[in-house]
């Protein structure tokens, strides 16, 4: 049966900008024709299954018809999308500025002739890097290396950290590797391939390629059957909510985790599996939206500095405005920048910012065919410009505050069903009491026209675009509440 939400009048924030009314094109609200997945999606999934693994497919999308915050599926359902292609759509669907950029001849060249960027850079490469990735570089970081995806960004940031570590160990940057190092390197043996390690955290997600998978600990299924490195895994703070009622306990919990980090670095160094880097997400995303305080991260940064360990901040999911900061780690107000900060998703291409020290001194130490993508760089340029011109980071902060306030209200009203409303900017989440309750809620909300994401076992997570506004936040809350009332 058709189910339609009444178009709501726009209730806008004080800081409303020109994009407010036009962002979703003519779409005024969700409009559902079928349950999700609908019959057409189901048909296409069956067809898909004949050629590849199809069980991850959720809805087949009509990208032509989708606009702004609204995804339109092949069954004609118009769905408010708070998950946005796994948190990777910064400006929503079919944003005019992106469409315009794609149609510009100078940008089309990047699609027509894909360059091997670091060997054959396009003539405007330096200018494009400056007007995109470097235009929004984290404080204190002036170097950037482009890659393809998030996993690839982390793989290469870790390689950069290993090279940095060994250069330091050799003591003098001008002393290169010796012949034994070269001869053993080809056969996976030390000293050419040293037994270095990377410290990561329980519940972390840093990607699925073979190297970074050893730093990923969110779900066993991600790791099953794949050989892994023996690298140290520290506990990530398990904070109690509401935070304001558990200040002392949470502080002690964070101290416990930091203490364990120090011990693990000492243990691994003592057994000659030297810890070269520590990698961490500012908010653990896939692992269930786990937060820690700025003091925890400052403490971790200090341990890394004191122990000569590179500090890698994985901003693949938290980066590009969504937390109310361009980079989530800006909230920690570090005294010195991390050695490496990785990104992907909303930036449309992967890569990492790094300090000067982490720039390899020799060519071809970090390299691959494409090293990013000029076409995606052109999009990143537009995205960064739109974010700045429309104050979209501030928008994420303001709308996020309203949204989180609403989630907390729901938690207070339905304590038997919900707990742990948390977030930063629009990067918000709330837990259900059980995994089964989460599944029921998510499905019902989706069938009422709001797509929400999940993570961990019991968590509902929200990863809307940066153009998500107060009326979208209120609509999401209303739809969730309408389902909670029926549970
Ligand atoms: O199931 C998956 O493979 C998913 S679902 C969401 C992600 C992956 N996120 C990717 C991700 C990330 O969130 C963080 C913090 N670091 C690295 C990655 C890997 O990025 P991609 O998927 O681009 O390789």
Q: Which residues are catalytic?
A: 205, 314, 345, 369
The residue whose CA has the least distance to atom 17 of ligand 1 is 206
- Whether 97 is in a domain gets the answer no
- Whether 242 is in a domain gets the answer yes
Cα–Cα distance measured from residue 469 to residue 478, given in angstroms and rounded to the nearest whole number: 14
Query: For position 456, what pLDDT does the model report?
Result: 82
Query: For position 2, what pLDDT does the model report?
Result: 38
Name the residue range of residue 334's domain: 108-389
Burial per residue of 242-267, b for 16 or more beta-carbon CB atoms within 10 angstroms, e otherwise: eeeeeeeebeebbeebbebbeebbee
Cα–Cα distance measured from residue 393 to residue 375, given in angstroms and rounded to the nearest whole number: 24
- Whether 139 is in a domain gets the answer yes
- Identify the CATH number of the domain in which residue 158 sits: 3.40.640.10
CB of 317 within 6 A of ligand 1: the answer is yes
Query: For position 1, what pLDDT does the model report?
Result: 34
Query: For position 173, what pLDDT does the model report?
Result: 63
Candidates 344, 372, 461: which one to mutate for ligand 1, based on the most atoms within 8 Å of Cβ?
344
Pair type for strands 350-354 and 143-147: antiparallel
Instruction: Give the ligand 1 atom nearest the CA of 208.
Output: 3
Query: For position 9, what pLDDT does the model report?
Result: 35
**354 in Cβ contact with 101 (< 8 Å):** no
**82 in Cβ contact with 463 (< 8 Å):** yes
Q: How far is the CA of 87 from the centre of ligand 1 (A)?
A: 10
Candidates 209, 312, 345: which one to mutate for ligand 1, based on the most atoms within 8 Å of Cβ?
345
Which long-range CB contacts under 8 A does 366-372 form with residues at least 24 apart?
366/145, 366/156, 366/159, 366/160, 366/163, 367/118, 368/147, 369/116, 370/114, 370/116, 370/117, 370/148, 371/116, 371/117, 371/118, 371/145, 371/146, 371/147, 372/117, 372/146, 372/147, 372/148
- Whether 306 is in a domain gets the answer yes
The count of structural domains within the chain is 1
Query: What does the angle CA 171 – CA 174 – CA 179 come to, to the nearest 5 degrees?
Result: 85
10-residue mean pLDDT profile of the chain (487 residues): values are: 37 42 90 97 97 96 98 98 98 97 92 94 96 97 97 98 94 78 96 97 98 97 97 98 95 98 98 98 97 98 98 98 98 97 98 96 94 95 98 98 98 97 98 96 98 94 98 98 95
- Whether 202 is in a domain gets the answer yes
Instruction: Give the ligand 1 atom nearest the CA of 154.
Output: 17
Q: How far is the CA of 86 from the centre of ligand 1 (A)?
A: 8
- Whether 254 is in a domain gets the answer yes
- Whether 126 is in a domain gets the answer yes
Query: For position 20, what pLDDT does the model report?
Result: 57
Tens of pLDDT along 241-271?
A: 999 999 999 999 999 999 999 999 999 999 9
Dihedral over alpha carbons 344, 345, 349, 352 (to 10 degrees): -10
**Residues composing the chain:** 487
- Whether 49 is in a domain gets the answer no
Take residue 393 and report the two structure tokens written for it. 């980071």
């Amino acid at each position: 049966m058709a189910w339609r939400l009444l178009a709501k009048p726009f209730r806008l924030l004080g800081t409303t900008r020109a994009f407010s009314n036009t962002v979703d094109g003519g779409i005024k609200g969700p409009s559902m024709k079928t349950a999700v997945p609908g019959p057409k999606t189901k048909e296409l999934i069956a067809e898909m299954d004949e050629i590849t693994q199809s069980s991850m497919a959720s809805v087949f999308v009509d990208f032509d018809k989708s606009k702004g915050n609204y995804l339109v599926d092949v069954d004609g359902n118009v769905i408010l999308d708070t998950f946005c292609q796994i948190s990777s759509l910064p400006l929503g669907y079919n944003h005019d500025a992106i469409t315009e950029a794609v149609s510009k001849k100078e940008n089309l060249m990047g699609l027509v002739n894909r360059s091997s960027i670091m060997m054959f850079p396009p003539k405007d490469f330096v200018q494009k890097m400056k007007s995109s990735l470097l235009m929004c570089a984290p404080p204190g970081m002036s170097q950037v290396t482009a890659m393809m995806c998030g996993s690839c960004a982390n793989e290469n940031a870790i390689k950069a950290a290993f090279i940095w570590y060994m250069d330091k160990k050799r003591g003098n940057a001008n002393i290169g590797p010796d012949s034994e190092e070269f001869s053993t390197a080809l056969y996976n043996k030390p000293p050419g391939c040293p037994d270095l390690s990377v410290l990561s955290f329980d519940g972390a997600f840093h990607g699925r390629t073979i190297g970074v998978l050893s730093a990923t600990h969110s779900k066993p299924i991600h790791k099953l059957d794949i050989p892994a490195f023996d690298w140290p895994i520290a506990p990530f703070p398990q904070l109690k909510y509401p935070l304001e009622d558990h200040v002392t306990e949470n502080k002690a919990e964070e101290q416990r985790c930091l203490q364990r980090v120090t011990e693990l670095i000492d243990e691994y160094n003592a057994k000659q599996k030297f810890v070269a880097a520590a990698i961490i997400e500012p908010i653990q995303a896939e692992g269930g939206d786990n937060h820690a305080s700025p003091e925890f991260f400052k403490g971790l940064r200090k341990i890394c500095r004191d122990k000569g360990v590179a500090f890698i901040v994985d901003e693949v999911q938290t980066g590009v405005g969504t937390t109310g900061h361009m980079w989530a780690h800006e909230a920690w107000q570090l005294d010195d920048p991390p050695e490496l900060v990785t990104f992907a998703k909303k930036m449309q291409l992967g890569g990492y910012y790094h300090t000067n020290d982490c720039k390899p001194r020799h060519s071809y130490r970090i390299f691959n065919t494409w090293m990013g993508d000029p076409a995606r760089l052109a999009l990143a340029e537009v995205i960064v410009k739109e974010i700045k011109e429309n104050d979209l980071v501030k928008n994420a902060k303001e709308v996020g505050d309203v949204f989180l306030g609403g989630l907390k209200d729901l938690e207070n009203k339905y304590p038997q069903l919900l707990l742990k409303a948390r977030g930063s900017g629009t990067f918000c989440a709330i837990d259900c009491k059980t995994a089964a309750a989460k599944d029921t809620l998510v499905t019902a909300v989706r069938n009422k026209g709001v797509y929400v994401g999940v993570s961990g076992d019991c968590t509902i997570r929200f990863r809307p675009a940066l153009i998500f506004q107060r009326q979208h936040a209120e609509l999401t809350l209303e739809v969730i509440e309408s389902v909670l009332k029926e549970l």
